[in-house]
Amino acid sequence: MAFTLPALSYAVDALEPHIDKMTMEIHHGKHHAAYVTNLNNAIAGTDAEKLSIEEICKSISKYPMAVRNNGGGHYNHSLFWSIMSPNKGGVPTGKIADAINAAFGSFEEFKTKFAAAGATRFGSGWAWLIVGADKKLAICSTPNQDNPLMDIAEVKGTPILGMDVWEHAYYLKYQNRRPDYMSAFFNVINWDAVTERYEKA
C-alpha cells in the first residue's frame, strides 16, 4: 500500500505568528508531499511496500539512498506536524515533565540543550528528544532526513519530539536566523502529543 500525505490537524495559518502560513503551505503541501511521492516511487514493486514507515527506518541500511532520504522525510515530517499545535507551548507537566527534569535537571536546561542540538547541526537536519533503550530521555541530532529510528543513526532511540532545522522550515520568515525560529518553535510544541509518544515508547 502506498504511503500518503497525512492531513494537518490544524489550519495552515494556525501556528502564526510563530510558524507562518506560507511556510506551512510549502513545507507540508510541497516538501512533505514530494517525500511521499518519491518514497512510493522508490519502493514500487519491492517488499518494502508491505512495511510500515517505522519498519523501513529500522532497517534503512538495506535500502537505496532514495528510500533513506524520502522515507526519513516522510517519517520525520509526519511526526513534526503531530507534535505542534496552536495554543500550546509553554512548560510541560506530568510524566513528561518528571522525565525531563530527571534527565536534564530542569526544563530550562532541556531547552538550552535541545536548542544547542539544533544550532550545532551544520547544514540540514533535525534535533530530537528520544527515549533510549535504557528508557531514559536523551537529546541528539541527525543530518539530512535521517532519524534516530534508523539502524545507521549514531544515537538510536524512539523519537518523541523532533525539530526540523532545514532552511525550508524557517527561511521565509526568519531568513538566516535559525535561533529565532527555534525559540518560536517552543511556543507551538504540543506537549500532550509528546507525552502520548513518551508513554508508548
Asked if 113 and 104 touch (Cβ cutoff 8 Å), the reply is yes
Q: How far is CA 15 from CA 18, 29, 47, 197, in A?
A: 6, 15, 38, 21
For the bound state, the minimum distance from the C-beta of residue 128 to Mn ion, rounded and expressed in Å, comes to 14
Cβ proximity to Mn ion: between 39 and 96 the closer is: 39
Cβ proximity to Mn ion: between 77 and 197 the closer is: 77
For the bound state, the minimum distance from the C-beta of residue 64 to Mn ion, rounded and expressed in Å, comes to 21
For the bound state, the minimum distance from the C-beta of residue 35 to Mn ion, rounded and expressed in Å, comes to 9
For the bound state, the minimum distance from the C-beta of residue 168 to Mn ion, rounded and expressed in Å, comes to 5
**Contact set with Mn ion (CB under 5 A):** 164, 166, 169
Cβ proximity to Mn ion: between 59 and 69 the closer is: 69
Cβ proximity to Mn ion: between 169 and 184 the closer is: 169
HSE-CB for 88 with a 13 A CA cutoff: 19
Q: Buried b / exposed e across 167-179, counting CB within 10 Å, b at 16+?
A: eebbebbbeeebe
Amino acid identity of residue 61, one-letter, is S
Using CB positions, name the residue nearest to Mn ion.
Answer: 164
**Helix, strand, coil shares of the chain as percentages rounded to 5?**
50, 10, 35
